[in-house]
Amino acid sequence: MAHSSDLDLVNVVKRFGTHAAVNDVNFSVAPGEFFSILGPSGCGKTTLMRMIAGFEHPTSGDIRIRGQSMIGVPANKRPVNMVFQSLALFPMMSVGENVAYGLTCRGVSRAEAEERASRMLERVGLKGFGERRVTALSGGQRQRVAIARCLVLEPTLVLLDEPLGALDLKLREHMKIELKQLQATFNTTFAYITHDQSEALVMSDRIAVMNQGRFEQVGSPRELYHNPATPFVASFVGETNKWQGEAASASAGGIAVRLPSGTVIQGQGKVAEKASLAFVRPEAVALAQDSSALSSLPNKFEGRVSAVLFDGANSSLLIDTAGFETPVRAVLPQAGPLAGIQVGAPIHVGWTADAMKVFAA
């Protein structure tokens, strides 16, 4: 009977000198899951991944794969394979030899390894590429070879260390979808690390947000986006408006925040201290030409458009609003009377208390 999780990390700590690069991290990854670790560079995610692969050893804690502790097991004996940031395709070997490499290391006969490698290449859409040199491939093809090289070994877990980082924007968008589909067809457990929140949101079943060696929050992309547990998650995942203020009064689940200008805004959250941070997503900001349309909202203000940031579907408006030190960011409606709004036009903004998350600063 298969173990209920493919990967478990238990109280894993990694210290370099006195600095804790990874500080007491716990999580489990279920079979077939696409799990991402998202964090800024230097947050410890690469160290974490290298510990799972076996290139670094935890100072304390345990790493289990299908319930088996990996402590003391060298990288070449772990049922885990890694797609490197640089891809690390062997330039001295052909595409086919790259894919067959792991099989021959296991003692599979040359003929069988070649056969299985070419079948794997076919499955990742590189049929007939076996004889080519890896240097003759495009960025996307190299990516697929790197993944095929791991998948052919049928590992319990594939680790991916920001493999899309080196690609240009268009190809990266394309590869996100392709990677997700590959993972779905092979039904292999993927652990993916990235600093790009969009990569994590698009591909993952679950995401762990990592900061300064710790996990801030683990959850589905939607959970992280709509219910961030910490101010770090709120500001790191997705676009957001962020204001500093003081907690004024709290009632059942609701909280009022007084901004330095004296303006009071209503939100949700639990804050023990006075200093607090309030976050509102741009798409949660309702816009109207007259205030009556926003009358039901607890937060409603008057402002003036200070900039139109046109970026197709991601277009937004910056609105100078009385009482706010920085302009309020809102999504530019693509249709209706506001679609053609110009700089300097007066406008009303508002949002619900639900849409505003308040945290202790």
Partner 1 sequence: MNRPTLSWKLYIAAFYIFLFAPLLVVAIFAFNASPFPSPPWKGFTLDWFTGSGATFGKPGVLVDPIWLDTIANSFKVAIPVALLAVVIGTVNAWVLERAEFPGKTFLSMMMLWPLVIPGVVLGISILAFFSRVANGLEEWLQTDLDFLRPGLSLVVLGQLSFILTISTLIIAARLRKFDRSLEEAAFDLGASRVRVLRTVTLPFLSPALIGAGLVALLMSFENFNTTLMLVGSDAPLPITMYGQMREGATPAINAVSLLLMLGVGGIASVFALTSKAER
Q: Among 359, 45, 89, 3, which Cα is nearest to 196's?
A: 45
Q: Among 327, 223, 234, which Cα is nearest to 276's?
A: 234
- Closest approach, Cβ 301 to partner 1, in A, equals 52
- Closest approach, Cβ 115 to partner 1, in A, equals 18
53 belongs to the binding site for partner 1 (CB under 8 A): yes
First and final CA of the chain: distance in angstroms? Answer: 47
Binding mask 139-178 for partner 1 (x = CB under 8 A): ----------xx--x-------------------------
77 belongs to the binding site for partner 1 (CB under 8 A): yes
68 belongs to the binding site for partner 1 (CB under 8 A): no
Q: Which of 5, 85, 220, 227 touches partner 1 (CB under 8 A)?
A: 85
- Closest approach, Cβ 68 to partner 1, in A, equals 17
88 belongs to the binding site for partner 1 (CB under 8 A): yes
With respect to partner 1, which residue has the nearer C-beta, 56 or 216?
56
Using CB under 8 A, which of the segments 74-82, 274-282, 297-305, 353-361 binds partner 1? 74-82
- Report angle CA 347, 351, 353 to the nearest 5 degrees: 155
Neighbours of 235 (CB within 10 A): 16
Q: Among 39, 11, 82, 31, which Cα is nearest to 205's?
A: 31
Helix, strand, coil content of the chain in percent (nearest 5) = 25, 35, 35
- Closest approach, Cβ 85 to partner 1, in A, equals 7
101 belongs to the binding site for partner 1 (CB under 8 A): yes
Q: Which of 44, 58, 96, 102 touches partner 1 (CB under 8 A)?
A: 102
Structure tokens at 232: 């770090």
46 belongs to the binding site for partner 1 (CB under 8 A): no
Rounded alpha-carbon distances, angstroms, from residue 68 to 12, 38, 62, 97, 157: 15, 26, 10, 31, 13
Q: Which of 106, 262, 272, 292 touches partner 1 (CB under 8 A)?
A: 106
Bridge-based pairing of strands 7-16 and 19-29 is: antiparallel
Neighbours of 111 (CB within 10 A): 8
275 belongs to the binding site for partner 1 (CB under 8 A): no
Binding mask 199-218 for partner 1 (x = CB under 8 A): --------------------
Neighbours of 291 (CB within 10 A): 13
Q: Which residues bind partner 1 (CB under 8 A)?
A: 53-55, 74-77, 80-82, 84-86, 88-92, 101-102, 105-106, 149-150, 153
